[in-house]
Structure 1
C-alpha cells in the first residue's frame, strides 16, 4: 500500500465538467475500485402540461429519480401508478394552475423509504372523493386504487387562490 498525497485529485471525466474530485487522505490499493457516491434529491417538484403529455413527462422523471435513490422497483411501480392517477384526475376534473395550462407534480422520499406524491391544480367544481362505479363503468376507480396502495391520502387547499392539492403517502417497503 502506498500513501497518496492529500493535494492531488482523482480524474473523473465521466462524472462531469469539474473533472476531478479531491482525494484527501485516500490510499491507493491495487485491485480495489474507488466508488464515488452521488447525492440524489429526496424531493422534486415540476410543472407539467395539463394533459396526457404532462402525465408521461412526470412519470418518466419520477421513475428515474426514485431509481437513482435506490428505491425498490415495486415501490417505484406503485408510485408511478399513483402519480398517473392523480395527474389524470387533474386533467379530467380540474382546471390548470395558470394560463400556461400547467399543473404541479411533486414527490418526496422519506428516510424510512415512504414516498409522498402530490398534484396541485386550479381546482374544479367538486373535490376528489372515491367513487363506486358499476362493473361496466370505464372509470371511477382511481382513488380507490390509490387508497389501497397508500397509508394515507387527502385533499387540501393550496397556497394559490382556488388551487387544490391531492396528496398520497406510499408505504415504505415492509411498512
Structure 2
C-alpha cells in the first residue's frame, strides 16, 4: 500500500492493517501490529524523505508458523542522512521512544537500504516473546 508522507498516511495505514487482519490474527497481536506500524510510519514521516511522489510504501506479509501466524511489517521511505537510531530520551521528553516500542513489541526489527531509499521492518514470530525490558529502557 502507498500512503502520503504525512500523518494522515499513518492513520490510513493503521486502519487498513486493522481491517485486513482483524479476522486473521489474535487481538493482542493485532494491537501490537497497529502500534508498531504507527511508530514506523510516524518515524518515516518525521525523520525521512518521502519516496518519489511524496509517498511512503507500507507492506505486511503473513506466513504460517508453528504456534500461529508470523507477520512482517515493512515501511519504505526515501531515507535520511542519519538513518533510524534508538535514542535515549529524557524522562520528560514527549518523543524518542518509537524504536524502543518497535523493539519491545516485535520479535526482531531492522533496516535495509537500496537505491530507492530505506525499509524499516519488524517481524512478529508467535514463538518469540516480545521484549518488555526494551520498552522500559530509556
Return the offset for 1:171.
2.8
Task: Give 2:90's aligned residue.
Answer: 134
Task: Give 2:19's aligned residue.
Answer: 64
Q: Does 1:115 align with 2:68?
A: no
With normalisation by structure 2, the TM-score equals 0.86
Task: Give 2:9's aligned residue.
Answer: 54
The equivalences for 1:30-41 within 5 A come to none
Whole-Å separation in 2 of the counterparts to 1:145 and 1:109: 21
Query: Larger RCO: Structure 1 or Structure 2 (Cα < 8 Å, ≥ 6 residues apart)?
Result: 2
The equivalences for 1:54-93 within 5 A come to 54-68=9-23, 70-93=24-47
The question of whether the paired residues in 1 share the 8 Å contact of 2:107 and 2:128 is answered with: no
The question of whether the paired residues in 2 share the 8 Å contact of 1:130 and 1:140 is answered with: yes
What is the aligned residue count? 126
The question of whether the paired residues in 1 share the 8 Å contact of 2:50 and 2:77 is answered with: yes
Q: Higher helix share goes to which structure?
A: 2
With normalisation by structure 1, the TM-score equals 0.69
- 4+ residue segments displaced more than 6 Å: none
Return the offset for 1:114.
1.7
Whole-Å separation in 2 of the counterparts to 1:75 and 1:90: 22
Max Rg structure: 1
Deviations 1:57-84 (A, max 9, x none): 111110111113x210100010000000
Q: 2:51 aligns with which of 97, 119, 128?
A: 97
The question of whether the paired residues in 1 share the 8 Å contact of 2:85 and 2:99 is answered with: yes
